[in-house]
Amino acid sequence: LPAEERRYWQETLRARGEVRDSLDFPALALDDRGEPIPVVNTDPATALFLESRTTPETVLGTVAPFVRPYPVGLFVEGLGPVVANDAYASRSVWEGFRDPYHSPRVVWGREVNLLFLGLAHRIAAASDSAGRPLEPALEPYLRELHQALRHTLDAVNASGLQHAELWSYEIAGGELRPVRYGTGSDVQLWSSTDLAVEFMLSRLPRP
DSSP labels for 86-107? -TTS-HHHHHH--SGGG-TT-E
Distance of CA 131 to the CA centre of its chain: 24
Reported as a pLDDT band with limits 50, 70 and 90, residue 101 is low
| Per-residue confidence (pLDDT) for residue 19, from 0 to 100 | 64
Q: Report residue 18's pLDDT band, with 50, 70 and 90 as the boundaries.
A: low
Question: What integer pLDDT is reported at residue 20 of this predicted model?
Answer: 60
User: Could you report the per-residue pLDDT of 111-161, keeping only the tens digit for each?
Assistant: 999 999 999 999 999 999 888 999 999 999 999 999 999 999 999 999 999
Q: Does pLDDT of 93 surpass 90?
A: no
User: What does the pLDDT look like over 45-76, one tens digit per residue?
Assistant: 999 999 888 899 999 999 999 999 998 999 99
Percent of the chain with pLDDT over 70: 89
- The three-state secondary structure class of 26 is coil
pLDDT score, position 97: 63
The C-alpha atoms of residue 76 and residue 168 are separated, in whole angstroms, by 10
**What pLDDT, on a 0 to 100 scale, did the predictor assign at position 188?**
63
> pTM of this prediction?
0.87
**Measured distance CA(12)–CA(170) in Å, rounded:** 15
pLDDT of 190 > 70? The answer is no
| Alpha carbons 7 and 1: distance in angstroms, whole number | 9
- Smallest Cα–Cα separation from 64: which of 137, 6, 147, 187? 147
Q: What mean pLDDT comes out for the span 28-52?
A: 87
Which residues have a Cβ under 8 Å from the Cβ of 33 and sit 6 or more positions away?
A: none
What is the average per-residue pLDDT within 169-197?
79
Measured over the CA atoms of residue 38, residue 40, residue 46 and residue 50, the dihedral's sign is positive
Full strand arrangement of the beta sheet holding 175-180: 107-108, 166-172, 175-180
Strands (E), 52-146: 75-76, 80-81, 84-85, 107-108
Q: How many helices (H) and strands (E) does the chain have?
A: 7, 7
**Residue 186: its pLDDT value, please?**
63
CA distance 73 to 76: 9
48: Cβ contacts below 8 Å, ≥ 6 apart: 59, 62, 63, 114, 115, 118, 119, 121, 122
Residues sharing a CB contact under 8 Å with residue 95, sequence separation 6 or more, in sequence order: none
For residue 161, give the H/E element and its range: none
